[in-house]
Structure 1
Amino acid sequence: MKIKNLIGLRMYYAFGTQVKGNICNYSDYDGIYLYNSNHNKIIGNVCHYNGSAGIVVNYDSHNNIILQNDCKYNNDNGIFLDGRYNTIRSNKCEANANNGIYMVSTSDIILENICQFNANYGIDSRESLNIMFMNQITYNEYSTFSNNDTHLWNSPIKIYYAYNSKQYFNFLGNKYSDHYSSDLDKDGIYDEPYSIPENNSDNYPLYSTPDTYSLQVWTLLPDSRLVNNFSDDVGMIRIESNDVHVWKAGANAIMLTEQSLWTGQVI
């Protein structure tokens, strides 16, 4: 579907809706706008040249999945988030007039996005407890901003990954175009952390772009949805019926309460 009008595609109080494969260009406002909307999937849309942002998830919207969207050349942010427990994965946020991804939200996971050539920050994270890793944050006017030290700029657990045909087990951060250090052990992680204003850092910045690392990552949302499908998983994952879930993958076990937002791996 092609959407070209004054206000773009707007959803109010939506629940369980999938918005997929739309072309939302040249709106006077946002390409796609969600207001107080929960448990929706925004997948594979094109949002270019809009008068404001490409995609907006606004006013305490939570548990939404923003996946594989193309948000370029917008007059504000590529993606704007105001809510909690949202997953923003594998989006392209490029050449926007403000930030690539801008969050006034809490407990969101920002994973495997490409944020580059934006006129302000690649990723600007406000509020608290957001998790950002495996993102490519390159060639923006400013790289990143983090308003406090509760945000996490690397994976919350160690991850098995392959890099240059060798296997490693470590935390993984993000790729920055303005970080200059060494990788003496050739594990794909810079030896020096990347400083992020204010009072934060990525302690495991990537030496290469994320597409050169081979890994399997899943995301658990508080309603027990698993955000990923693997064809070659090994091992078992079990969810308990009460409000504390035990996810088992190989020898690993992670405890999660109903308020948890976590990222792990099936091995």
Structure 2
Amino acid sequence: MSLKMKPSLTHPSATGKCHAPALSNAYHPSRGIGRSTIWAVSLLYSFMLIASLASAASITVSSDLQAAINAAQPGDTLLVAPGTYEKISIGKSLNLIGNGAVIQAGERDACVNIEASDVSISGFLVRNGFYGIKLNNVRGCTVANNTVIRCTQPGIALLFSDGNIIQGNNASFNGLGGEGWYGIYLSNSNDNLILDNVAYGNGAYGINLFPSCSNNTIRGNVLQGNMYGLYMFTDCSNNIIEYNDLSRNTNSGLDLRFDCTDNLIRNNSMIENVVAGLTLLDSGYNSISGNLIEANGRYGLQIQSNSNGNTIIDNTISDSQTGIFLDSSQNLIYRNKISYNVIQAEDRGENSWNASYPLGGNLWSDYHGSDDYQGPEQNVLGADGFGDLPYEIDSSSLDRYPIMGDQVRQISIIDKALNPTQARVGDDIKVTVRMEALYDLNQLTVRAYQSGEEAKGYGRLVASGDAYQGSFSTALLDPGEYDLVLRVNDVRGFELEETLGSFSVTPRS
């Protein structure tokens, strides 16, 4: 180990030959502060600053990193040369900077154990430990620009540690054996900044807060390819979760469970998670705004089991099996764009799907009402940007002020023809339809109805050029008037049932 000390800085007071001047011109009520008093105080502060600078050293380390840590003084900087080093424990305020340095440990040890406040560590590859970098009961530490991989439990862990910065690290492929653990883990830790990290392919969670973690800011992280992107469990409140990419995880992008309340969740991306974009379980009074929640497998937004009093505003929720699933009450949902979900929304509680007029409700891609009236009761002539009729989620849940614009049918009929429209029993009716659909169509069938009741027989339509064609046989019908109804679904499960036209059947003579 070589020691490269900064040049020693000395000043006259260190020799004992220079003393602060006598304060003969000191403060007096009748005169104020004298010039020599100001000069003396300034000189004293200058001496203190010089002494502080002189005491901090920059030390280059190329072997036995723990010995260098033990020998260093608080405030020193250790410049760690390329090489592989054994586990370390830091019990004083130091700044460690790695340059191609690797720290690794056995599977039951932490690679880096930080037990002092105001420690900074950056630029290391940390691997193959029980923990990667562990902060225990400390504050004011910075962990930045490290790669922490293949540890048995968390890559980076904060235990009972407040006011730290975790920034720009790659904490991936940790906890892959046994129980499955985390990229970054906070426990009983508050007021931390978790910024711009990557946590990919960890056994369970990209980032996990459990339990009792409050007032943390989790911003700009990429949490993909885990079971859960960000998982908050038990009494985690008043956290800010913003501008994170919580996508392509095997369960949910973001999951809050059991008394995780009053969190601000905004401007995140939750795309193509296998189960849900965002799940709340027994967690209420959160603000969920400005998020892109798109193409998740089962649910865009899933709110369950006493997750009451949440505000859901200005989100885009699209292309999932169910856009919003609510099994809770007293939630307020408005100004969201809810589009192209197989089931746009399901409400099993008592929730509000619009704010008061004129704040309005939500934009639904399958709303096809008109906008001719305005006002709280939509009974005053003149458009206001809200549909005149409510959007119906179910018989007891309505959006009273659906927002107009961008409504597009997932499946629509653009042309249709029946020939003939008057047939004798046993004749075939030729059916031609031209369709417009966002996704590939699976199956098209036609069935006859009489006075609202389905009659016997059906026909199938197949693609023919830019149209679908087939025939419907009247052989099983009694003479009378009928409606011919098309049923169609697409590869994502959207369904359309629409009457193509009427025909009559007469007896054969």
Structure 1: gaps of 5 or more residues: 159-169, 210-267
Matching residue's letter, 1:99: Y
SS in 1 for 2:276: coil
Count of matched residue positions in the alignment of Structure 1 and Structure 2: 194
- Secondary structure (helix, strand or coil) at the match of 2:279 reads strand
Task: Specify the SS of the correspondent of 1:88.
Answer: strand
CA drift at 1:186? 2.5
Match of residue 109 from structure 1? 311
Match in the other structure for 2:360: 172
**Equivalent pairs: percent with the same residue?**
28
Structure-to-structure mapping, 1:136-215, within 5 angstroms: 136-148=337-349, 150-155=350-355, 157-158=356-357, 170-184=358-372, 185-197=382-394, 199-208=396-405
Residue 453 of structure 2: aligned partner: none
Relative contact order higher in (CA < 8 Å, ≥ 6 apart)? 1
Q: Any idea what the Cα deviations from partners look like across 1:197-253, whole Å, max 9, x if unmatched?
A: 2521100000026xxxxxxxxxxxxxxxxxxxxxxxxxxxxxxxxxxxxxxxxxxxx
Q: Distance in 2 between matches of 1:2 and 1:198?
A: 45
Superposed, 1:233-244 pairs within 5 Å as none
| Residue of structure 1 equivalent to 2:208 | 10
For residue 251 of structure 2, the aligned residue among 47, 52, 66 is 52
Cα distance in 2 for residues equivalent to 1:198 and 1:96: 26
CA distance in 2, matches of 1:58, 1:34: 6
After TM superposition, give the deviation of residue 22 of structure 1 in Å.
0.2
Q: Distance in 2 between matches of 1:60 and 1:121?
A: 25
Q: Separation in 1 of the partners of 2:394 and 2:242?
A: 31
Q: What RMSD over aligned residues (CA atoms) do the two structures have, in Å? A: 1.1
Partner of 2:502: none
Q: 2: CA distance between counterparts of 1:121 and 1:176?
A: 13
* TM-score after normalising by structure 2: 0.37
Taking the aligned partners of 2:246 and 2:290, their CA distance within structure 1 comes to: 15
Give me the whole-angstrom Cα distance separating, in 2, the residues matched to 1:60 and 1:197.
29
**Residue in 2 that maps onto 1:213:** none
Partners of 2:273 and 2:394 in 1: CA distance: 25
1:60 aligns to what SS in structure 2?
coil
Structure 2 counterpart of 1:153, which letter? W
Cross-structure match for 2:224:
25
Structure having the larger proportion of residues in strand:
2
Equivalent residue for 1:134, pick from 310, 315, 335: 335
Q: Which residue of 1 aligns with 2:232?
A: 34
Within 2, Cα distance between the matches of 1:111 and 1:198?
23
Higher-helix-fraction structure:
2
Give structure 2 stretches of 5+ with no counterpart.
1-196, 373-381, 407-509
| Correspondence for 2:326 | 125
Work out the CA distance in 1 between the residues paired with 2:395 and 2:258: 25
Aligned-pair CA distance for 1:112: 0.3
Mapped to 2, the partners of 1:189 and 1:208 lie a distance apart of 9
